[in-house]
Amino acid sequence: MVRVVLLREEQILDLAYEGPAQGLLPLVGYSVETAVVLCNGVPIEEEDEVGEGDEVRILPVVSGG
Amino acid sequence: MQCSCGRKAVYHRRYSGQHLCARCFRRMVEKKFMETVRSNGFIAHTDTVACGVSGGKDSLVLLHLLHGLQKKVRFSLFALAIDEGIAGYRDRSLPYVTKACETLGVPLHVRSFKESFGYALDEVTAMKERVGACSYCGVFRRSLLNSASRELGATKLALGHNLDDESQVILMNMLRGDFARFGRMGTYRKHVNDQFVPRIKPLREIPEKEIVLYAVLAGIDFDFEECPYAPEAFRDEVRQFLNTTEEGHPGTKHALLRTYDKLYPFLNEALQPSVLPSCERCGEPSIRPLCKKCELLDAIRDGLARDDQS
């Protein structure tokens, strides 16, 4: 299980996912252009693998007016 | 992937093919900011710069970078925040501004729609007959940023518009067929009105995503909420289109801005007036006899009166 923390939505999801972070983004309503991904508190490239036991935090890129 | 320096990369810069570690990424953003300031002659030693701040990532990154630039260029800097009167949004983001200004030691001034124009944005949008919220907000905010900057002695008004903002506006003005506004988007090069404080956009070549990552890596605390009125705006549709296109064709947003910048000298020559008149009522710079802000204030007064009668 990957724990996904959606910061704007204030939601925490546990998903059965193993693979590159960019594959996870559409599953939670984001894309490479609209999210910055942190894995276990550290920014990662979207091509980096995430999987069992990781906490992935999704920061929305679009904000403000 | 690894950065060219050997460290673990945290960012894949798709439009250039580079993989950058945290240190090289921050340097790249700071270099791009400096290049934009230098190549456009944005800031001189004699300037007093008002930095428009909202509490979002763009304006707080801009404030942080301008504060850093003061070590090299001895200009004066203050922050200027506008409280539009959007409950649950602006009251939440302004504490981020206060905190950043206190941390950096930058003086902060706050102006509100309510005190300056008599209405909070939420009161205006509660009217039965109204145009889009962003139409009021954009006009009032631009007007208040200009008048407050001038009154506080600023010679430049720095705004946190990023590459995404710029490319969205270019496309929006084209899609609307608004040629006059299309021609006014670039950096002002002519002195057209004493009341007009020239606007500078030092982040205009930096993608929105890079601003967010820079804020995270530099430890800049910001509000990542979206304005509740944003989904009303045409901009939202244009943003989605550009993001989808950028994903399939990295570099699209840069290409759009580069194309505009190449066109701008011709547009500026053809469309920029040599003298920008002033509004007959409030004295602010305006192409028309009555500025858009005064026109909208009249419409609000009439709209609220009609609501009271019904």
Domain of A17: which CATH number? 3.10.20.30
Say if A15 is an interface residue toward chain B (CB within 8 Å). no
ipTM of the complex in this document: 0.96
Mutate to test the interface with B, among A9, A36, A46, A59 (most CBs of B within 10 A): A36
For residue B186, the Cα-to-chain-centroid distance in whole angstroms is 13
Test B226 with A63 for CB contact under 8 angstroms: yes
Q: Are B220 and B60 in contact (CB under 8 A)?
A: yes
Mutate to test the interface with A, among B135, B214, B216 (most CBs of A within 10 A): B216
Q: Structurally, how many domains does chain A consist of?
A: 1
pLDDT of residue B161: 96
A chain contacts of residue B159, beta-carbon cutoff 8 Å: none
pLDDT of residue A64: 74
In a domain, A65, yes or no: no
Distance CA B200, CA B191 (A): 14
In a domain, A41, yes or no: yes
Which of these, B164, B52, B18, lies nearest to B172 by C-alpha position? B164
Q: B29 vs chain A: nearest CA distance in angstroms? A: 16
Please state which of the ranges A13-27, B38-52, B179-193 shows the lowest mean pLDDT. B179-193
Q: What does the pLDDT average to over B65-86?
A: 96
Distance CA B10, CA B244 (A): 22
In a domain, B291, yes or no: no
Q: How far is CA B229 from CA B137, B213, B301, in A?
A: 10, 25, 21
Residue A59 is nearest to which of B137, B212, B247, comparing CB atoms?
B212
Instruction: State which residue of chain B sits closest to A43, comparing Cα positions.
Output: B10
Say if B237 is an interface residue toward chain A (CB within 8 Å). no
Decide if pLDDT at B232 tops 90. Answer: no
In a domain, B182, yes or no: yes
In a domain, A29, yes or no: yes
Test B137 with A65 for CB contact under 8 angstroms: yes
Q: Structurally, how many domains does chain B consist of?
A: 1
Output the CA torsion sign for B9, B12, B18, B24: negative
Test B208 with A36 for CB contact under 8 angstroms: no
Q: What does the pLDDT average to over A21-40?
A: 96
* Strand duo A49-50 + B108-112: pairing: unpaired
Decide if pLDDT at B224 tops 90. Answer: no
Residue B121 sits in a domain of what CATH number? 3.40.50.620
In a domain, B101, yes or no: yes
* Residue B305, phi then psi, degrees to nearest 5: -65, -40
Distance CA B148, CA A5 (A): 40
* B104-149 per-position pLDDT tens digit: 999 999 999 999 999 999 999 998 888 888 889 999 999 999 999 9
Reading phi first (left if > 0) and then psi (alpha if -120 to 50, else beta), residue B85 is in left
Decide if pLDDT at B77 tops 70. Answer: yes
Distance CA B266, CA B264 (A): 5
Domain that holds residue A23: 2-60
In a domain, B296, yes or no: no
Domain that holds residue B74: 29-277
Q: B146 vs chain A: nearest CA distance in angstroms? A: 18
Q: Are B193 and B276 in contact (CB under 8 A)?
A: yes
Decide if pLDDT at B190 tops 70. Answer: no
* A7-27 per-position pLDDT tens digit: 999 999 999 999 999 999 999
